[in-house]
């Protein structure tokens, strides 16, 4: 049987698209699982470490509330990532694959260095790299996005510092508070589980969009379907990758107890939900870290916290990995995609 040149070319094109979609599926799933593996730590580490809940139930609750958060408030962030930073006209399966691969590589580097990195920052960085390559970057989005990235972590630090300063160290002024806590320990434990679910909801409102924003921009999937399909992989990632994070989270800079962990979770979760309602892809890790640094400043002082090797390493990685994401995205597009 003979095939015309056009027929062979058409089949070759279909085969290439099929490979792209298969690779996209694997990258999106892997990306979502990594986000779930890291996202369960700041939300459920306190109740898991305090033996208030078993791992399987922590994973189930985390998954359910991530899905609820994604379906209720996630579409605004998807819109920003799919068409707010660059024009959706330049997005296709190939470009989306390169954007998500670049973000995943940058996130993997941060994991190798042992520093939690924001998936939002590396995703935005990869999208910016594509925008620079196609010369379609819409700078107006950064007029409100970057100030939010700066102001909200500062608010997270100040709010946590102020709240914890009121209850630590114990003194005659706050003794009544400790008496109430210990006399209502059962209610406090139940509240801790609720706060953890609240944190998981906040993660769902923002982070799921990182995995599907480029796909929506490329018109591969619609926002609601994408959020519904990808969110459960956060739970799978939490189940597979989350155990070590659950057990070690919050020990490097300052040990977190049940009360401090839930102050951090409540403050950062609220700020993340506000950001999601504004449609802003937001670095939850930064909110969380600044809140933990605030706890450390109250307990150990500002000088100790700022001079800690983890603090210095954290700010270095936060600066370098988004720039790496931009560079990798731009380089891969230069090598594999024609303008």
pLDDT, tens only, 257-277:
778 888 989 999 999 999 999
Q: Please tell me the pTM assigned to this model.
A: 0.88
Given a contact cutoff of 8 angstroms between Cβ atoms, the answer to whether 122 and 103 are in contact is yes
Picking from 50-54, 121-125, 253-257, 333-337, which range would have the lowest pLDDT averaged per residue?
253-257
- Decide if 130 is inside a domain: yes
Q: How many domains does the chain have?
A: 1
- Decide if 6 is inside a domain: no
- Decide if 4 is inside a domain: no
Rg (CA), the chain: 21
- Decide if 2 is inside a domain: no
pLDDT, tens only, 6-15:
454 555 567 7
Return all residues near 257 (Cβ < 8 A) that are at least 6 apart: 46
Average pLDDT on 113-125 reads: 77
- Decide if 3 is inside a domain: no
Averaged pLDDT of the chain: 84
Beta partners for residue 86, in sequence order: 137
- Decide if 1 is inside a domain: no
Smallest CA-to-CA distance from 234 within 32, 19, 47 is with 32
DSSP label at 50?
A: T
Structural domain boundaries enclosing 131: 13-336
Given a contact cutoff of 8 angstroms between Cβ atoms, the answer to whether 323 and 316 are in contact is no
Return the pLDDT at 155: 96
pLDDT, tens only, 27-78:
999 999 888 887 887 788 778 777 788 888 999 999 999 999 999 999 999 9
φ/ψ bin of 219: left (φ > 0), alpha (ψ from -120 to 50), beta (otherwise): left
- Decide if 99 is inside a domain: yes
Q: Say if residue 229 is exposed, middle or buried (CB neighbours under 10 Å; 0-12, 13-18, 19+).
A: middle
What confidence category does residue 176 fall into, taking pLDDT thresholds of 50, 70 and 90? confident
Average pLDDT on 72-98 reads: 91
**Residue 67 Cα to chain centre, angstroms:** 14
DSSP SS3 for 86: strand
d(CA 284, CA 214): 20
Query: Is residue 3's pLDDT more than 50?
Result: no
- Decide if 36 is inside a domain: yes
Query: Is residue 189's pLDDT more than 50?
Result: yes
pLDDT, tens only, 228-254:
999 999 999 888 877 666 655 545 545
């Amino acid at each position: 049987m003979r095939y015309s040149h056009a027929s062979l070319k058409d089949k070759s094109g279909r085969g290439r698209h099929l490979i792209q979609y298969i690779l996209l599926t694997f990258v999106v799933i892997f990306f979502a699982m990594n986000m779930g593996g890291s996202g369960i730590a700041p939300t459920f580490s306190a109740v898991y470490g305090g033996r208030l809940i078993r791992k399987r139930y922590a994973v189930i609750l985390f998954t359910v509330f991530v899905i609820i958060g994604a379906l209720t408030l996630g579409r605004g962030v998807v819109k920003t990532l799919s068409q707010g930073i660059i024009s959706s006209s330049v997005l296709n399966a190939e470009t989306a694959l390169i954007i998500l691969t670049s973000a995943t590589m940058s996130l993997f580097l941060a994991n190798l260095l042992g520093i939690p990195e924001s998936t939002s920052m590396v995703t935005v960085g990869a999208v910016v790299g594509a925008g620079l390559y196609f010369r379609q970057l819409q700078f107006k989005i950064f007029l409100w996005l970057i100030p939010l990235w700066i102001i909200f972590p500062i608010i997270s630090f100040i709010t946590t510092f102020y709240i914890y300063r009121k209850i630590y160290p114990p003194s005659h002024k706050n003794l009544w508070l400790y008496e109430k806590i210990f006399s209502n320990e059962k209610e406090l434990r139940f509240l801790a589980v609720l706060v953890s679910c609240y944190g998981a909801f906040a993660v769902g409102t923002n982070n799921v969009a990182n995995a599907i924003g480029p796909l929506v921009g490329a018109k591969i999937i619609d926002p609601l379907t994408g959020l519904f399909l990808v969110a459960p992989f956060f739970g799978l990632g939490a189940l597979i990758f989350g155990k070590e994070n659950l057990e070690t989270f919050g020990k490097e800079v300052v040990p977190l107890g049940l009360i401090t962990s839930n102050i951090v979770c409540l403050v950062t979760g609220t700020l993340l939900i506000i950001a999601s309602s504004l449609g802003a892809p937001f670095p939850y890790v930064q909110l969380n870290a600044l809140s933990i640094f605030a706890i450390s400043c109250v307990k150990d002082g500002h000088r100790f916290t700022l001079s800690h090797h983890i603090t210095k390493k954290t700010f270095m990685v936060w600066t370098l990995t988004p720039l790496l994401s931009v560079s990798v995205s731009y380089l891969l597009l230069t090598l594999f995609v024609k303008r």
